[in-house]
Amino acid sequence: MKKKGINFYLHIYFKILAQDIKSKMSYRADFIISTIGMIFTNIAGFVSFWILFRNFPSINGWSYYEMMFLYGFSLISITPVQCLFDNNWNLRMYVYSGDFIKYCFRPINLFFYYQSEIFDIKGLGQLAFGLATMVYAWTKIGLACTPLIILKTIIFLITASLIMIAVMNAAAATCFWITNSFFVMDLALKFRDYAKYPITIFSPVFRFIFTFIIPVAFIAYYPSLVILRPDNIPVLSWISPAFGCLFFWLSYKLWMHGATKYSGTGS
Amino acid sequence: MKLKKYFALTRCGILESLQFRASLLVMFAGNLVYLTVVYFLWKSIYASSGTNSVNGMTFHDTLIYLVLATALFNFMEMYAVWEIGRNIQTGKIVLDLLKPIKYRSYLFWSYSGSFVVNFFTTFLPTFITVCIVTSSAVPLGINLLYFALSIVPAVIINYSIDFIVGTICLYTESIWGINIMKQVIVMLFSGATIPIAFFPETLKNIVNYLPFTSIYNTPLSILLNGNPQNANILTMLGIQVIWCIALLIVSSVFWKISLRQITVNGG
């Protein structure tokens, strides 16, 4: 079979996207309520952040605005997983009920087809919230605003988001083996809340764990160091894009491995 | 025997949660990671602040408070909104309404089994661990009895709020958004994410007029207080009981009114 090009996939993606948005729009009330819910979550997250820092002006040498930058950075970098890979949450239901088999019969990449089926618009509110937070912190810290820095920020944001995508993919893929992956996914989702803290607060053992075993430190801490502390960038920050790609590729392989092993329910 | 039918549901619940041992294990692991993060985060917060006690809470107090808040959450959270919402969407609710038992009691008692299991698998181990880690900073005296007493209204208040929010789903047929809003508000205003003692004055005053503090803050403050004044404890328990009764009435009246509205798709 001839390998299909990226144009072909983009074309298909937008076709599926249009269908998804149409079907979402037919449940308008649900859409509006969900969006409000998402905004609520972001506001509450910010309020708890604010309450905490009212009491403590700095944590481990990190000032209020630097922490806020980290917070905004982590919000932006978890947006792609929210918007583009939300169908992972339904995977266990499809696998359990046997409906997953329908994806196996399509003549396109299984992973691509499955993930493209849902686009979660709610995530865009989070993106706006994250951007506003980051820009506010950016101006308060007085960081320079050159094209090079902005380019760096964008590249590191994208690669950071790959980590979160990888974590969620891997968590969702566990359902091919243990059926009920909800708890694994819920656990993985919690990791994103830890991403907003500087890794230096942990003891060396946990620093190692959060860097190499559960790579939460790559979601915000290491990439944002490149922008926040340009004088003293650790090697891990520079290789975080490579890590992002590597983890994404690994999670993709795991997901596909599970999917090809899937034998259906016989119905 | 009136209670017999309820205990039958409890028994089913226990058997059901024991069936999902893998998820219990994952939940346990997730808690462990969460507690580690909380421990190091607050440790470095207190280290940076330079004082031993902030807002009248020492590091150990805060740690015990937050750890046990999580343990309480795992123990009390029933995801009743999800259950009601799913039952509405699938139409299963019709079958439950036909049962010769009130839907509200049916749902509560079918969850009661997981209370029992979660108490022994999460709350008790966490409690013992926290006692050891903080080298018995938890005062072990009469306050344990008061704590146990205040858990009962806390569970009922939590369930009633869930049930009221679940009833709203009858109108909106949207689950995710409603549920996330409820969860965010309860978690923040009950003091489960940040102890109420850290809140700014105005916010503290507002929160004191809301029922949410009765869920987590009241039991935990009672637990942390080694020499309780009787009058003090009685007021706290009294407020809990008043909220408990008020919310029970609201939830049952609201449910009765809403049942007339119900439209079920097929079923």
Give tens-digit pLDDT for B14-63: 777 776 677 777 777 777 788 888 888 888 888 877 777 777 788 888 88
What residues contact residue B51 under an 8 Å CB cut-off, 6+ apart?
A: none
Q: Is B198 on the interface with A (CB under 8 A)?
A: yes
Q: Per the structure block, which two tokens stand in for B169? A: 């789903």
Predicted local confidence at residue A3, as pLDDT: 64
Q: What percent of chain B has pLDDT over 90?
A: 3
Q: Which residue has the tokens 């409906």?
A: A99
Over 70: is that where the pLDDT of B1 sits? no
Interface test with B, best of A40, A53, A62, A82 (most B CBs within 10 A): A40
Q: What are phi and psi of A62, to 5 degrees?
A: -100, 125
Predicted local confidence at residue B245, as pLDDT: 92
Dihedral angle computed from the Cα positions of residues A254, A256, A261 and A266, in that order, rounded to the nearest 10 degrees? 130
Provide the β-strand partners of residue A63: A58
Q: How far apart are the first and last CA of chain A?
A: 29
- Residue B238: count other Cβ atoms within 10 Å of its Cβ: 11
Q: Per the structure block, which two tokens stand in for A266? A: 């016989």
- Residue B43: count other Cβ atoms within 10 Å of its Cβ: 17
Indicate the pTM of the whole model. Answer: 0.79
Over 80: is that where the pLDDT of B147 sits? yes
Question: If you measure CA to CA, which chain B residue comes closest to A195?
Answer: B37
Report chain B residues whose CB lies below 8 A from the CB of A206. Answer: 36, 40
Does B131 or A71 have the greater pLDDT score? A71
* Cβ–Cβ below 8 Å for A55 and B187: no
d(CA B251, CA A72): 38
Q: Looking at the partner chain, which of B33, B47, B180 has a beta carbon nearest the beta carbon of A37?
A: B180
Among B189, B181, B192, smallest CA distance to B76 is for B192
d(CA A217, CA A73): 12
CA distances from A50 to A36, B67, B133, B155, B216 (A): 21, 21, 29, 29, 21
Predicted local confidence at residue A249, as pLDDT: 92
Dihedral over Cα of B121, B122, B125, B128: its sign: negative
In the predicted model, what is the mean pLDDT of residues B100-106?
Answer: 81
A209-225 confidence digits (pLDDT tens) = 888 887 888 888 888 88
Q: Per the structure block, which two tokens stand in for B166? A: 């679940």
Over 50: is that where the pLDDT of A1 sits? no
Mean model confidence pLDDT for chain A: 83
The C-alpha angle B100, B101, B107, rounded to 5 degrees, equals 140
Report chain B residues whose CB lies below 8 A from the CB of A35. Answer: 177
Predicted local confidence at residue B249, as pLDDT: 92
* Cβ–Cβ below 8 Å for A187 and B176: no
d(CA A60, CA A19): 49
Angle between helices B80-90 and B103-118 (to 10 degrees): 130
Over 60: is that where the pLDDT of A252 sits? yes
Over 70: is that where the pLDDT of B264 sits? no
Question: If you measure CA to CA, which chain B residue comes closest to A192?
Answer: B34
Q: Per the structure block, which two tokens stand in for A12? A: 């298909």
CA distances from B130 to A190, B61, B69, B199 (A): 21, 11, 12, 24
- Residue B206: count other Cβ atoms within 10 Å of its Cβ: 11
In the predicted model, what is the mean pLDDT of residues A170-193?
Answer: 79
Over 50: is that where the pLDDT of B267 sits? no
d(CA B190, CA B266): 39
* Cβ–Cβ below 8 Å for B200 and A30: no
Q: Is B26 on the interface with A (CB under 8 A)?
A: yes
Report chain A residues whose CB lies below 8 A from the CB of B187. Answer: 44
Does residue B262 sit in helix, strand or coil?
Answer: coil
CA distances from B94 to A31, A90, A259, B84, B104 (A): 26, 25, 36, 11, 13
Over 80: is that where the pLDDT of A26 sits? no
Q: Is B27 on the interface with A (CB under 8 A)?
A: yes
Predicted local confidence at residue A179, as pLDDT: 65
